Amino acid sequence: MKHVKEHFAVVGGGLVGSLWALMAARRGHQVDIYERRDDPRKGSALGGRSINLALSDRGWRALEKAGMLDKVREIAMPIQGRLMHAVDGHTTFQRYGQEGQPGVLGDGQCIYSVSRAGLNRMLIEAAEGHEGVQVHFGHKCADVDLRRQDAVGLTFEHGGEPVNVEADRVFGTDGAFSAVRDRMMRTDRFDYEQKYLAHGYKEIEMKANADGSFKMREDALHIWPRGNFMLMALPNPNGTFTCTLFAPFEGHDESFENWGDDAAVTALFQRQFPDVLPLLPNLLDDWNDHPTSSLVMVRCEPWHRGERVCLMGDAAHAIVPFYGQGMNSGMEDCTVLDDLLDSEPDWGTVMSEYTRLRKPAGDAILELALRNYVEMRDLTGDPRFLLQKKIEARLQQRYPDEWLPLYSQVTFSHTPYHEALAAGAAQDAIMHEVMDRPDIEAVWDSEEVAEAAMAKLRALHHA
């Protein structure tokens, strides 16, 4: 579909902003990216956000659309499943994907750990290297004038001076505390919610061995599920792990307010994570150097204003990190918007379709990510839950076209998140019935159990 070549302003040069700028430039538009922070190549890494991220199929599809798949695979590290650590040091491995499936990069069906800073730099450089793209660092969005019909006026603050810009379209990719959304919030009938989790997190680095090798199995996301809190660790390509402790800020025996000094922190790790304590000689230094950070969720509606402005990524739908879908869902926003531009000539329709398609998906992945926190910190330590996952994996193996577990739909498919959420709820109701058999531990892998589950699923689809 042909659109007139226009001038786009992309506010925010993070992962979603730089990826979208690249996609837009490939369509022939003139694109300016305005990024609040300074050029990361002239100093340290971009921002103070988490160090590594999980990239899965939705992200890969968007990267492929932008011609970036091969470059990004060079910095992506395959993670095959979760490794759960019990207090006594016993571990259980649970594969993410289906065995025998090649997966998006041929490493089997898995997710990938990537460095946020490394990926961001790669995308910014690709955008900057593309014809028609210019990147402006150190430009803080100070105002967006939404009143004009023929264009959007933007004011940035750069080196203490105002910079005025005019654009045909504005894409707010400026994150959970978006300045573009802030201006939309002051317009009539714009719904907005920011909600903080009652839990916070603290990051601790697990260094590599002297020879550069990993101190733990490196193809796994490690979890120490402890009921109301958990430790997790995700490997980085340089041999380190980023360990993150998630726990309530206050109001519980095990919460940050009660881990106020070195003795309490050491006692916590001795009590709850004894197997990892010897691997973290820098525990107390990192604990005291790193902040206890909060986790915010953002919901808003609509995601666009008229035919000239829209929000993408965290600016529209900031979520908690427990499904590894924050970046992937933002990149899927780019895929969907780009697809709409392929088929729809009218910008007004493109924008309203974008909200119509993506808003329910954003609400669903917010909900799924919240639930996955409970699953990771609590259920992954529960034998009954692990048995249910084994039965579901077996159903998937035997009936791959019919039984796709929720995790697989979210992580390895392109089914809209809200459809995956609904399908998962139906499967869960079936699995509760299956698990209620008193002899389930004996017959879990029987033909009878599989047939009963599939009969219920098929009955649902015909209802």
Residues that bind a second copy (CB under 8 A): 177, 185-186, 188-196, 249, 294
What angle (nearest 5°) sits at the alpha carbon of residue 127, between those of residues 175 and 5? 95
416: nearest Cα among 339, 295, 329 = 329
Pairwise CA distance, residues 265 & 248, whole Å: 15
Closer to a second copy at the Cβ: 117 or 296?
296
Q: Which is nearer to a second copy, 2 or 186 (CB)?
A: 186
What is the closest distance, in whole angstroms, from the C-beta atom of residue 179 to a second copy in the complex? 11
Distance of closest approach, residue 178 Cβ to a second copy, in angstroms:
12
CA atoms of 439 and 459, how far apart (whole Å): 24
Give me the least distance between CB of 143 and a second copy, in Å please: 13
Nearer to a second copy, 295 or 351 (CB): 295
CB of 128 to a second copy, least distance (A): 31
Question: CB-wise, 214 or 249, nearer to a second copy?
Answer: 249
- For 208, residues 6+ apart whose C-beta sits below 8 A from its C-beta are 214, 215, 238, 239, 240
Residue 319 contacts residue 366 (beta carbons within 8 Å): yes
Closest distance of CB 318 from a second copy, Å: 13
Closest contact distance (angstroms) between CB of 194 and a second copy is 5
> Closer to a second copy at the Cβ: 249 or 385?
249
Q: How far apart are alpha carbons 1 and 126 in whole angstroms?
A: 24
Report angle CA 301, 302, 303 to the nearest 5 degrees. 100
Minimal distance, residue 336 CB to a second copy, in Å? 24
Return the number of the residue (58 or 202) whose C-beta is nearest a second copy: 202
Of residues 89 and 291, the one with the C-beta less far from a second copy: 291
The smaller minimum CB distance to a second copy, of residues 234 and 351, is found at: 351
CA angle, residues 141, 143, 149, in degrees to nearest 5? 120
Q: What is the DSSP string of 113-147?
A: EEEHHHHHHHHHHHHHTSTTEEEETT-EEEEEE--
In the bound complex, what is the minimum distance in angstroms from residue 197's beta carbon to a second copy? 9
CB of 181 to a second copy, least distance (A): 12
Which residues are bridge partners to 52 per DSSP?
Answer: 115
Give the whole-angstrom CA distance, residue 100 versus residue 166. Answer: 52
How many other C-beta atoms lie within 10 A of the C-beta of residue 90?
9
Check if the beta carbon of residue 390 is closer than 8 Å to that of residue 379: no
* CB closer to a second copy, 152 vs 298: 298
As measured in angstroms, the least distance from the Cβ of 185 to a second copy is 7
Q: Is 199 helix (H, G, I), strand (E, B) or coil?
A: strand
Q: What are phi and psi of 394, to 5 degrees?
A: -70, -40
Q: In terms of CB distance, is 134 or 194 closer to a second copy?
A: 194
Count of alpha carbons within 13 angstroms of residue 44, beta-carbon side? 4
- Cα–Cα dist 84/73, whole Å: 27
Cα–Cα–Cα angle for 43, 54, 409, nearest 5°?
155
234, 242 Cβ separation under 8 angstroms: yes
